């Protein structure tokens, strides 16, 4: 699986170019499944924010990018559905658009739904994450971001070896100083991303695409874009 781990989605031409490169085809020729499940685990999210993701806002950053088709995959429903039905939907999609919300909650449902077992064979599929949809792929999200259950460990899926601090500068608490404190307790490197930045993972290739500000913490000196 190829990963495009963003803070705010496909927010600029550089991130869109990286997406097209991962897809190997124009967005307009690719099929997408949108996964909103992380929203149910976060106290700031609800029906209205979920609707905003599914219909996309202006300017579009995820589901409204011009895909050949877009469907919705709700992970919390999958345990009640025969995998013979939903696994082909996932295998047929070119891209999974995974929204933000609560990353530990999302990790729980990626496992519980059976999707985690399917991911290793999706070699050409692109996972595009927003916020928690990116953080879920990491070893830890950091205690700062645990909102679902206060006593829940901050562990996620661990499919990459770094963590992600999203929304740098977007919210009052998402400062570089807060990110440094967050990174100090991780035990692994962490990328700090603003809304104009993303991390691309394609096999052994890990690189940042940015038209804004980003930092790498816990892996030597802080590296600005």
- What lies within 8 Å, CB to CB, of 6 at 6+ separation is 15, 128, 129, 130, 131, 134, 193, 197, 198
Closest CA relative to residue 177, chosen from 217, 143, 132, 130: 217
Confidence of residue 51 (pLDDT cuts 50, 70, 90): confident
**Which residue ranges form the domains of the chain, and what is each CATH number?**
2-217 (3.40.50.880)
pTM here?
0.94
Confidence check: pLDDT of 222 > 70 = no
Q: CA angle, corner 64, sides to 62 and 69, nearest 5?
A: 100
**Lowest-confidence pick of 88-102, 137-151, 193-207:** 137-151
Confidence of residue 152 (pLDDT cuts 50, 70, 90): confident
pLDDT tens-digit readout, 76-126: 999 999 999 999 999 999 999 999 999 999 999 999 999 999 999 999 999
| Residue 169 backbone class (left: φ over 0; alpha: ψ -120 to 50; beta: rest) | left
C-beta separation of 210 from 197 below 8 A? yes
pLDDT at 47 (0 to 100): 86
C-beta separation of 100 from 133 below 8 A? yes
DSSP 8-state assignment for residue 41: G
Average pLDDT for the chain: 94
Q: How far is CA 153 from CA 15, 61, 98, 143, in A?
A: 31, 30, 21, 8
- What lies within 8 Å, CB to CB, of 3 at 6+ separation is 126, 127, 129, 137, 159, 160, 199, 200, 201, 202
C-beta separation of 98 from 63 below 8 A? no
pLDDT tens-digit readout, 5-41: 999 999 999 999 999 999 999 999 999 999 999 999 8
């Amino acid at each position: 699986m190829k990963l495009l781990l963003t803070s705010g989605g496909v927010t600029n031409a550089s991130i869109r170019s990286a997406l097209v490169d991962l897809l190997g085809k124009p967005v307009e020729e690719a099929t997408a499944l949108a996964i909103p499940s992380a929203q149910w685990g976060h106290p700031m999210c609800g029906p209205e924010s979920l609707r905003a993701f599914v219909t996309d806002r202006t300017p579009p950053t995820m589901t409204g990018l011009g895909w050949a088709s877009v469907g919705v995959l709700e992970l919390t429903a999958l345990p009640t559905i025969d995998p013979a039905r939903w696994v082909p939907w996932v295998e047929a999609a070119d891209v999974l658009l995974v929204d933000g919300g609560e990353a530990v909650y999302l990790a729980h449902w990626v496992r519980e739904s059976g999707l985690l077992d399917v991911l290793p064979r999706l070699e050409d599929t692109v996972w595009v994450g927003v916020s928690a949809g990116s953080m879920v792929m990491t070893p830890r999200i950091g205690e700062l971001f645990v909102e679902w259950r206060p006593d829940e460990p901050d562990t996620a899926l661990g499919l990459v070896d770094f963590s992600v601090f999203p929304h740098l500068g977007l919210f009052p608490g998402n400062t570089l100083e807060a990110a440094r404190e967050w990174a100090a307790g991780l035990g692994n490197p962490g990328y700090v991303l603003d809304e104009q930045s993303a991390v691309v993972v394609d096999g052994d290739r890990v690189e940042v695409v940015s038209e804004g500000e980003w930092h790498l913490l816990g892996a030597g000196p802080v590296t600005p874009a």
